[in-house]
Amino acid sequence: MAEPIYLRVRRVLSASAEDSVDALERLGGASVMREAIRQVDRALDEVRVEQEAAIDRGAQAKRQQARIGERVADLEEKARFALSKGRDDLAEAALASQLDFEAQAERLARVEADAANEKGRLDGCVAELAARRQQMEKDLAAFEAARREARSCAEGGEDRGIQRKVDRAQRTFDRVMANAGGAPAGRVDAPEAEIDALRKEAAVADRLAALRAAAKRRPGKAAPAK
């Protein structure tokens, strides 16, 4: 039995670890986030297909109800005619058929209402998925920008604010991965290793700068000859 579309949407929106992080543990943080966005895109495509199907069901049910309405009116006219000719048996048969058609019309009305409700729920799914995708795009852009900025500062030898920038990249990534269900505790994956390396570089730069400053302040250092 196929998985209901709402369960698939809920799974994508919760982005469980089994469906995202574990399958991509060897990729970098940005790659994980891009794959999560692609999962949302695929879910959106599925929901839109279901939307079209719901719209078609509702439209078909409405068209069938219209045809049945015409048939019911025709049977009523035939029943009147049969009665006018003294054929009660034919009138009864026409009215019996009329009742059968009216029952079909009631079922079709429920189909139309169910299709409308289904479309409404699917509209909500589309809105949720679109909002999640937009937020994920923003998080990805922020993560990549923070990581580029931190790396640029480290490569340029700038020590002021490096740790803050790296921490900001870490928080961005952590927030996205928390939305994605989070990586299992105790595992250090590729993005974490890269961020740890950036932190180490920043710490080395800070300590090196501190040593240089201390050397300049050391008393008794001979002034260079002029």
The CATH number for 78's domain is: 1.10.287
Three-class secondary structure of residue 49 per DSSP: helix
Nearest CA to 44 among 141, 110, 140, 122?
A: 122
Which range has the top average pLDDT, 5-9, 58-62, 142-146, 149-153? 58-62
Q: Of 101-115, 123-137, 151-165, 207-221, which gets the smallest average pLDDT?
A: 151-165
pLDDT for position 59: 95
pLDDT for position 219: 63
pLDDT for position 19: 45
pLDDT for position 170: 60
Q: How many CB atoms lie within 10 A of CB 214?
A: 9
The Cα 214–Cα 62 span in angstroms is 85
Residue 55 is assigned to a structural domain of this protein: yes
pLDDT at 156 over 80: no
pLDDT for position 168: 61
Residue 82 is assigned to a structural domain of this protein: yes
Residue 219 is assigned to a structural domain of this protein: no
pLDDT for position 132: 86
Residue 221 is assigned to a structural domain of this protein: no
pLDDT for position 226: 44
pLDDT for position 21: 43
Percent of the chain scoring above 90 in pLDDT: 24
Q: Domains in the chain: how many in total? A: 1
pLDDT for position 203: 74
pLDDT for position 3: 57
Three-class secondary structure of residue 157 per DSSP: coil
Higher pLDDT among residues 44 and 214, named by residue = 44
Return mean pLDDT, the chain. Answer: 75
Q: Which domain holds residue 118?
A: 5-181+190-211
Residue 114 is assigned to a structural domain of this protein: yes
pLDDT for position 183: 44
Helical residues (DSSP H) of 85-161, grouped into ranges: 88-155
Residue 222 is assigned to a structural domain of this protein: no
